[in-house]
Amino acid sequence: MTAAQDPGQEAARGAANRESADTAGAREAAAQEVVRTGNTVPEPSVTSMFDSIAPVYDRMNTLMTAGMDGRWRRAAVRAANLSKGGTALDVACGTGKLTAALAAKVGPEGRVEGVDLSPAMLDEARRAFGAMRGIEFVLGNALSLPVADRSFDAATIAFGLRNLASFEDGFREMARAVRSGGRVVCLELSVPRPRFMGRFYVALFRITAPFIGALFRRRAAYAYLPSSLKGFPPAEEIAATMRHVGLKDVGFKRLGLGTVALHWGTVA
């Protein structure tokens, strides 16, 4: 005769099995969401991609953000905490819209330099804003900025951090370029919270970005955008990276229902 099973032991074994399954599921999810420390796409490929989309970049941004990109750039300018006659460095400046907004803030007596690795993007920037007083666009690498130490009052990067091979080195270079007490500001895409909203946003982005890109005959290039969010650090980890390079008083806020994060920190 088989001995009767203790209901308490059966319940305990069931709970243990469920806990083991939950733990395995959590580990699998964590493995699928490995956080990157930099862009894994080779730098020449990224540059070539941005060269190809330069003529339609601004129109695409306005369409994809429903016109909110201008508001976000104004928030980045405020976070830079600049005064009239000040100096600013705009890293990965693209077509120069944030560079121009910074130049408007510091006025004609100030100085703003935009740096980008894409010649075609810089051509668009010079065409649109090259006549502005106190503004200059320079070809250069965000990880080896062609500027002297502590030569600016603030450094900004908007929607460019995701493209750098090392996020930490990008922040370190920006901090190197800014005087003590000046600001480093980062405006970047982010994944909304809670997690289910983030998953919905990423899934939607994977569909809409290439579709909108196809309207401008740039489908392949715009397929890169949603993929660049995969493994990108959450806002809290971006803030931790900024502190790690020596920035103090680091803070951030989420914009656009959490689809964008604005970070700032002060150079010691």
199: in domain: no
- Residues written for the chain: 268
CATH number assigned to the domain comprising residue 68: 3.40.50.150
Q: Encode 81-90: b = buried (16+ Cβ within 10 Å), e = exposed.
A: bbeeebbbbb
pLDDT in tens, 165-207: 999 999 999 999 999 999 999 999 999 988 888 888 888 888 8
115: in domain: yes
pLDDT in tens, 227-245: 888 899 999 999 999 999 9
Report pLDDT for 33: 60
* Percent of the chain whose predicted confidence (pLDDT) is above 90: 69
210: in domain: no
Neighbours of 241 (CB within 10 A): 22
Tell me the one-letter amino acid at 240: A
178: in domain: yes
Number of structural domains, the chain? 1
180: in domain: yes
56: in domain: yes
Report pLDDT for 22: 37
207: in domain: no
Burial class (CB in 10 A: 0-12, 13-18, 19+), 130: middle
pLDDT in tens, 7-55: 444 444 444 444 343 333 333 333 346 899 999 999 999 999 999 999 9
pLDDT in tens, 50-105: 999 999 999 988 888 989 999 999 999 999 999 999 999 999 999 999 999 999 99
* Between residues 210 and 160, the one the model is more confident about: 160
Q: Which domain holds residue 167?
A: 43-189+231-266
Report pLDDT for 29: 37
The whole-angstrom separation of Cα 34 and Cα 198 is: 15
The whole-angstrom separation of Cα 233 and Cα 28 is: 18
215: in domain: no
